[in-house]
């Protein structure tokens, strides 16, 4: 009898709580954009997405959430996110969306797990370790797996996967933001920034432009303040010239190969690869890069058997010549085996259950990069420099940084691209410092700041975690990177 009464009491409590939660969620659906105070109240946000039992997670004092946001109910398109509140005073700090590129690579697998998130995947995917240089020390960090087909994001309509491209991705990411704000209303009026690296050099400004344009409708307003781009693909022709000149200037290719490319490759043409001499010389360049890590010229490659099993597919993608799109190879950054560790971790049933991906019984296949997405990419803007000009005119903060040992989107590519903007220089080229050492160089223009990271590869935070956090802090504060040793 006592057990029966106890069970009834527990059921009654659970039913009352459930009804309150349903009412809360229902309220979100009819929530007015202007109603939030900006304070973080965990009961206002989607508590069903709260992550509470992630295997191997270090103990922390901040909340984090993970799950899906449906961006198209008709087709069943849903994007997976992982959101970390700021480590302290989250109600006072901005919201930053981070995107990785590819196209086809995971922002959770790279950005959150290897670079700037609070938890870095540990050796062999057995667990997580704390990242003392996490960017959530300075901001509330939102990582999005985009577009569908990346990581855990999916669509129930197979034809969606044949439409993937820049515009498709930007529109889904924009829909995601508004749906996410319904789930997390206390962040709706927060200062907002978009950051990313590599092919997200196109994603980020494209999404920023969409936000800027649609902000003309006050009911859709998002308080976008600026964008931050790391080793970004920007302008295809300039990116190609940079990759060639960088390989030559860093002794990856011979003088003869470099000369053939310069004389035969017109990177402004839509028919680059019709020139046989150009094609052969560029192939020779990438043959040399097969021997090292194109993302980090001076670090070791992963020689584990599991990490080398997909080499043939990776190089096939890298050598794709169907358009002016940049090449893509899969590889590690700081620890060249981290990709495999991430794959092992996110394909654990207990991890997927904790992240609200699966029920802990049915496994979802997770890969750090989806090669099919790259191969089927139908829409890629040849240049986002016109968007730069538009965002600069709108007064948005634009910072671009470049690790100077990256051969994939080298510092030369970025310098060539930014040079073509013709911006006036407001603060001339000079070193910037971290802990009294030269961290790199920077130059400020009217509406844009460009900086390098000395000795860093493609994913800068992997190589220079403390420096990148300091740089990120300067960006958020709208202050120049430190230009003295003090």
Residues designated catalytic: 198, 406, 458
Phi and psi, residue 176, nearest 5°: -55, -45
Cα separation, 485 vs 467, in Å, equals 14
Q: Tell me how many degrees the CA angle 206-212-216 measures, rounded to the nearest 5.
A: 145
Q: Give the burial string for 204-216 (b: 16+ CB within 10 Å, else e).
A: bbbbbbbbbeeee
Residue 5: Cβ within 10 Å count: 9
Axis crossing angle, helix 255-264 with helix 276-289, rounded to the nearest 10: 140
Cα separation, 272 vs 159, in Å, equals 30
Q: How many residues does the chain have?
A: 486
| CB within 8 Å of 148: residues ≥ 6 apart | 77, 78, 79, 154, 155, 160, 161, 164, 172
**Strand pairing category for 437-445 and 64-72:** unpaired
| CB within 8 Å of 384: residues ≥ 6 apart | 201, 202, 205, 206, 234, 235
| CB within 8 Å of 476: residues ≥ 6 apart | 94, 138, 139, 193
DSSP state of 85: -
């Amino acid at each position: 009898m006592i057990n029966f009464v106890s069970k009834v009491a527990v059921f009654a409590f659970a039913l009352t709580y459930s009804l309150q939660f349903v009412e809360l969620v229902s309220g979100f659906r009819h929530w007015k954009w202007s109603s939030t105070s900006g304070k973080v109240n965990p009961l206002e946000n989607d508590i069903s997405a709260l992550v509470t039992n992630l295997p191997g997670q270090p103990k922390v004092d901040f909340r984090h959430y993970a799950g899906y946001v449906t961006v198209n109910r008709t087709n069943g398109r849903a994007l997976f996110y992982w959101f970390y509140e700021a480590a302290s005073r989250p109600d006072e700090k901005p919201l930053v969306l981070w995107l990785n590129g590819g196209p086809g690579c995971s922002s959770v697998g790279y950005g959150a797990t290897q670079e700037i998130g609070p938890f870095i995947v540990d050796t062999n995917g057995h667990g997580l370790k704390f990242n003392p240089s996490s960017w959530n020390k300075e901001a509330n960090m939102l990582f999005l797996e985009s577009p569908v087909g990346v990581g855990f994001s999916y669509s129930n309509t197979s034809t969606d996967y044949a439409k993937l491209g820049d515009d498709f991705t930007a529109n889904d990411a924009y829909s995601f933001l508004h749906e996410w704000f319904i789930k997390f209303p206390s962040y709706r009026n927060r200062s907002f920034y978009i950051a990313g690296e590599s092919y997200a050099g196109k994603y980020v400004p494209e999404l920023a432009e969409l936000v800027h344009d649609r902000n003309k409708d006050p009911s859709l307003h998002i308080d976008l303040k600026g964008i931050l781009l790391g080793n970004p693909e920007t302008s295809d022709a300039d990116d190609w010239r940079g990759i060639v000149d960088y390989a030559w200037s860093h002794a990856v290719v011979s003088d003869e190969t470099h000369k053939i490319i310069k004389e035969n490759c017109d990177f402004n043409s839509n028919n680059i690869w019709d020139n046989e001499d150009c094609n052969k010389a560029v192939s020779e360049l990438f043959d040399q890069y097969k021997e090292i890590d194109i993302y980090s010229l001076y670090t070791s490659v992963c020689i584990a058997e599991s990490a080398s099993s997909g080499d043939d597919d990776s190089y096939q993608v890298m050598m794709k010549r169907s358009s002016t799109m940049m090449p893509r190879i899969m590889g590690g950054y700081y620890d060249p085996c981290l990709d495999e560790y991430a794959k092992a971790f996110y394909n654990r049933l207990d991890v997927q259950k904790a992240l609200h991906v699966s029920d802990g019984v049915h496994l979802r296949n997770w890969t750090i990069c989806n090669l099919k997405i790259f191969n089927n990419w139908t829409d890629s803007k040849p240049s986002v420099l016109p968007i730069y000009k538009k965002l600069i005119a709108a007064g948005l903060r634009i910072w671009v940084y470049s690790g100077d040992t990256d051969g994939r989107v080298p510092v030369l590519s970025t310098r060539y691209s930014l040079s073509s903007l013709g911006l006036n220089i407001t603060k001339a080229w000079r070193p910037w410092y971290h802990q009294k050492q030269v961290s790199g160089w920077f130059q400020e223009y009217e509406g844009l700041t460009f900086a390098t990271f000395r000795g860093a590869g493609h994913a800068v935070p992997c190589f220079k975690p403390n420096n990148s956090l300091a740089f990120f802090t300067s960006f958020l504060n709208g202050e120049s990177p430190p230009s003295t040793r003090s």
